[in-house]
Amino acid sequence: MDKLTNNQIAWRAAQDIADGAYVNLGIGFPEKVAQFQPPGRQAIFHTENGILNFGESPAKGTEDWDVINAGKKAVTVKPGTSFFHHADSFAMVRGGHLDVAILGAYEVAENGDLANWSTGPKGVPAVGGAMDLVHGAKRVAVITDHVTKDGKPKLLQRCTLPLTGVGCVTRVYTSLAVIDIEDGRFVLREKLPSLSVEELQAVTGAELFIPGPVADLICPEV
């Protein structure tokens, strides 16, 4: 089955970020979204450890390891970059000052529940700031592969893993489709043109609602 690469998923998610939006990107895969801002648009990126409006990653060998994001990756400083206390950073999150949070996921439920911090009793918990972000940001989106490594659906009727947030996700960008969460159901907006609706439904753990034409999900090679 054809599917998008992680870079292509990140590219697609970046196309929906408005110019000047305040954005927090989850650690790991979601950080890729910053690489693909559309021409003429510039998001203002926030990181939980206390930096706002930082720049791109520095060239290898030029890192300043006193200037890192929440994922412990080096970032650059640009005009307008601000530094502040960890507590002030979370006050921004909890105060509703972020327009978008884009996070990874283990599972997403059709009612918008998100599980992304623990794989269960034998897993290593890694919640970070996710529980604050999913309830503080004005919009929460998820980027993820459509299925697990062993082919099981990640989009479900109900999450089976410990929840990060309840009813918080509004859009999911996967390796196969773009799906909105509205009125407690998955609404299919875009899918790979090589994939039929029936094939997509077969790897989705809840019913896909299709209110109208479904656009082709087409991404450049990035």
Q: By the 8 A CB rule, do 74 and 68 touch?
A: yes
Q: Which of 48, 107, 110, 190 is catalytic?
A: 48
Greatest C-alpha distance within the chain? 51
How far apart, in whole angstroms, are the C-alpha atoms of residue 143 and residue 5? 11
Token pair 């972020």 is found at 98
How far apart, in whole angstroms, are the C-alpha atoms of residue 169 and residue 102? 10
* Token pair recorded at residue 63: 């890192």
Known catalytic residue: 207? no
How far apart, in whole angstroms, are the C-alpha atoms of residue 2 and residue 214? 18
**Pairing status of strand 155-156 against strand 107-109:** parallel
User: Which DSSP symbol is given to 134?
Assistant: H
How far apart, in whole angstroms, are the C-alpha atoms of residue 36 and residue 16? 11
Residues assigned a catalytic role: 48
